[in-house]
Amino acid sequence: MPIKDAEAVKRKILDFLGNSGPSLPVHIAREIGLDMIFTSAFLSELISHEKIKASEMKIGTSPVYFIPGNEEGLEKFSDFLKGKERETFNLLKKEEFLVDSEQEPAIKIALRSLKDFAKPFERNGKLIWRYFTVGETEYGKSACTKEEAAPENTSEVYNTGPEIDKEPEIKAKFVTSDKKETEPKKEQGLPKKRPQKKKAKIAGKEKDDRFFNKVKEFLSKDGSEMTDIIGFSKKDFTIKAKKGGKEYLIVAYNKKKITDKDILNAYKKSEDYGLDYSVLSMGDIPKKVKNFMDAVKNIDSIGKIE
């Protein structure tokens, strides 16, 4: 599907995110009138140029996209949080600050997974978590700050579980609970580790993104500029590019070995657009294809014997 003006599409995406706030790719695709493959390509391009950002949390398998500075709008997607993460989000939003050492292990783990909403900082040697819309300077001013509002030796802390100050520190890389935890910690309500289902669809999208990024990297090294996206699929990527003021067509194949048929398909596309063309592949050009290209390049004419 041809796209007449790639820059116009990017501006439309930025305008939509500016007016609507953080949005899912399906809503962005609907707004710009393109399918998800093209939309994902444009979103990746905008992220690479730091025009937009993607959330850490996933709604299904998709992140939420937003313009830097509009992070506050992510709050409307908090309804998609489940279980302990939702409970921890509500607690942090209410209290604004949570002292890490005062939380039960399950809350500690959830705080580390809420990267969009829970922001860590250190104060007096203690790890503090703040709600993402509240600044660090507000810590200590809030009447709800337990460290300063509660009297010494009181049992009123955020959690009702046992004292955990002497527990080993849980590393930030933990996102879900680990089966290596001891039995007493299970009694404290640690969430069970859920087996992750690796869907072929997710793996396929990651492969497509790698292919798309490799093409962009090649263009950058070659000194070429992408001017238009003509077509994008799992097998090939067709774009217009400009180098030294001259526009040409690039057909990139997402496979290690191309065939003479691939060369012919690229040629037909170049004829449609009246442009010279280049062919890219993920591997070396097979000798058979090189011979075919040499044969066609050096041919003078083809005649029919009557």
- Kindly report the CATH number assigned to the domain that includes residue 287: 3.40.1350
Mean pLDDT of 236-249: 85
Cβ pair 207, 214 in contact under 8 A: no
User: In whole angstroms, how large is the CA radius of gyration of the chain?
Assistant: 27
- Kindly report the CATH number assigned to the domain that includes residue 4: 1.10.10.10
Over 50: is that where the pLDDT of 99 sits? yes
Helices (H), 135-199: 146-149, 183-187
Q: Could you identify the residue written with the tokens 């399950």? A: 106
In a shared domain, residues 65 and 134: no
In a shared domain, residues 96 and 164: yes
Q: Which among 268, 263, 262, 237 has a CA at the least distance from the CA of 250? A: 237
User: With the CA atoms of 28, 87, 125 and 69 taken in that order, what torsion angle do they form, in degrees rounded to the nearest 10?
Assistant: 20
Please tell me the distance from the alpha carbon of residue 237 to that of residue 196, in angstroms, as a whole number.
Answer: 31
| Number of domains making up the chain | 3
Q: Residue 194's pLDDT is what?
A: 58
Domain boundary among 72, 89, 113: 72
Confidence grade of residue 209 (pLDDT, cut at 50, 70, 90) = low
Q: Could you identify the residue written with the tokens 């060369």? A: 263
pTM of the model: 0.49
Over 80: is that where the pLDDT of 298 sits? no
pLDDT digits (tens, 9 = 90+) for 34-62: 888 889 889 998 999 899 999 999 998 89
Please tell me the distance from the alpha carbon of residue 128 to that of residue 136, in angstroms, as a whole number.
Answer: 9
User: What is the largest distance, in Å, between two alpha-carbon atoms of the chain?
Assistant: 107
Examine residue 306 and state whether it is found in any structural domain, yes or no: no
Q: Which among 195, 194, 171 has a CA at the least distance from the CA of 105? A: 171
Among 11-25, 128-142, 170-184, the range of highest mean pLDDT: 11-25
Q: Which among 223, 239, 226 has a CA at the least distance from the CA of 279? A: 239
Asked which of 102-106, 216-220, 226-230 is least confident by mean pLDDT, the reply is 226-230
DSSP reduced 3-state for 241 = strand
User: What does residue 301 show for φ and ψ, rounded to 5 degrees?
Assistant: -165, 165
In a shared domain, residues 267 and 205: yes
In a shared domain, residues 209 and 291: yes
Examine residue 20 and state whether it is found in any structural domain, yes or no: yes
Confidence grade of residue 71 (pLDDT, cut at 50, 70, 90) = very high
Confidence grade of residue 184 (pLDDT, cut at 50, 70, 90) = very low
In a shared domain, residues 203 and 296: yes
Please tell me the distance from the alpha carbon of residue 259 to that of residue 257, in angstroms, as a whole number.
Answer: 7
DSSP secondary-structure letter at 40? H
Q: Residue 180's pLDDT is what?
A: 43
Domain boundary among 168, 187, 206: 187
Q: Residue 4's pLDDT is what?
A: 56
Instruction: Name the strand (E) or helix (H) holding 229.
Output: strand 225-232
pLDDT digits (tens, 9 = 90+) for 257-294: 888 888 888 888 888 888 998 888 887 777 777 777 77
Q: Could you identify the residue written with the tokens 């939380």? A: 103
Question: Which amino acid, residue 136?
Answer: E
Cβ pair 41, 48 in contact under 8 A: no
Over 70: is that where the pLDDT of 155 sits? no
In a shared domain, residues 54 and 100: no
In a shared domain, residues 86 and 181: yes
Examine residue 193 and state whether it is found in any structural domain, yes or no: no
Over 90: is that where the pLDDT of 23 sits? yes
Examine residue 60 and state whether it is found in any structural domain, yes or no: yes
In a shared domain, residues 119 and 99: yes
In a shared domain, residues 98 and 59: no
Domain boundary among 72, 89, 104: 72
Helices (H), the chain: 6-20, 25-32, 36-48, 83-95, 105-113, 146-149, 183-187, 200-222, 260-273, 287-298
In a shared domain, residues 125 and 217: no
Q: What angle do CA 254, 260, 261 make, to 5 degrees?
A: 70
Over 80: is that where the pLDDT of 93 sits? yes
In a shared domain, residues 58 and 89: no
269 against 196, higher pLDDT: 269
- 143-151: Cβ within 8 A, 24+ apart: 144/94, 144/95, 144/96, 144/97, 145/97, 146/95, 146/99, 146/102, 147/99, 147/102
Confidence grade of residue 195 (pLDDT, cut at 50, 70, 90) = low
In a shared domain, residues 152 and 236: no
Q: Residue 205's pLDDT is what?
A: 53
For residue 295, give its domain range: 198-300
